[in-house]
Amino acid sequence: MAASVRVKEALVITPSEPTPARVLSLSALDSQLFLRFTVEYLLVYRAWHGLDQASTTARLKLALAEALVPYYPFAGRIRPRPDSPGLEVFQRLRETAENRFSVEKTVVPPRGRRSKRIAAAGRSAYVAPRRCSGDRRRDHHCISDGIGSAEFLNYFAELASRKRVAGSIPKPVWDRHLLNPPPPAAKKIARVNPASHPEFNRVPDLCDFMKLVSTGLKPTSITFDKMRLGELKRLARCTSQAGDESSSFYTSFEVLAAHVWRSWARALEFPPNQVLKLLFSINVRNRVKPGLPEGYYGNAFVLGCAVTKDGELEEKGIGYGSGLVRRAKGRVGKEYVREVSELVSESMANPDLVGVLIVSQWSRLGMEMVDFGMGKPVHVGSVCCDRYCLFLPASDEDDESVKVMMAVPTFAVDSYHFLMQDSNLL
Task: Write out the catalytic residue numbers.
Answer: 141, 371
**Cα torsion angle, 80, 83, 88, 89, sign:** negative
Q: What is the dihedral of CA 220, 399, 282, 419, to 10 degrees?
A: -30
Burial pattern 240-264, b for ≥16 Cβ within 10 A else e, equals beeebeebeebebbbbbbbbbbbbb
Give, for 156, the enclosing helix (H) or strand (E): helix 146-160
Query: What are the angstrom distances between the C-alpha of 125 and each of 13, 103, 164?
Result: 11, 6, 21
Give me the helix-helix angle, 318-330 and 252-268, nearest 10°.
120
Q: How far apart are CA 393 and CA 407, in angstroms?
A: 18
Distance CA 106, CA 413 (A): 33
**Helical segments of 239-309, H only:** 252-268
Q: How far is CA 116 from CA 13, 130, 176, 412, in A?
A: 19, 7, 39, 36
The whole-angstrom separation of Cα 407 and Cα 361 is: 16
DSSP 296: B
Residue 232 backbone dihedrals phi, psi, to 5 degrees: -65, -40
How many other CB atoms are found less than 10 A from the CB of residue 230?
Answer: 14
The torsion of the CA quartet 114, 120, 126, 129, rounded to 10 degrees, works out to 0
Question: 187-193 — which CB contacts under 8 Å span 24+ positions?
Answer: 187/342, 192/339, 192/342, 192/343
HSE, side-chain direction, 13 A CA sphere, residue 114: 3
Rounded to the nearest 10 degrees, how much is the dihedral formed by the CA atoms of 135, 138, 142, 148? -10
| CB-CB contact of 6 with 106 (8 Å) | yes
45-77 b/e with 16+ CB inside 10 Å = b?
Answer: bebeeebebeebbebbbebbbbbbebbbbbbbe
Q: How many CB atoms lie within 10 A of CB 402?
A: 24
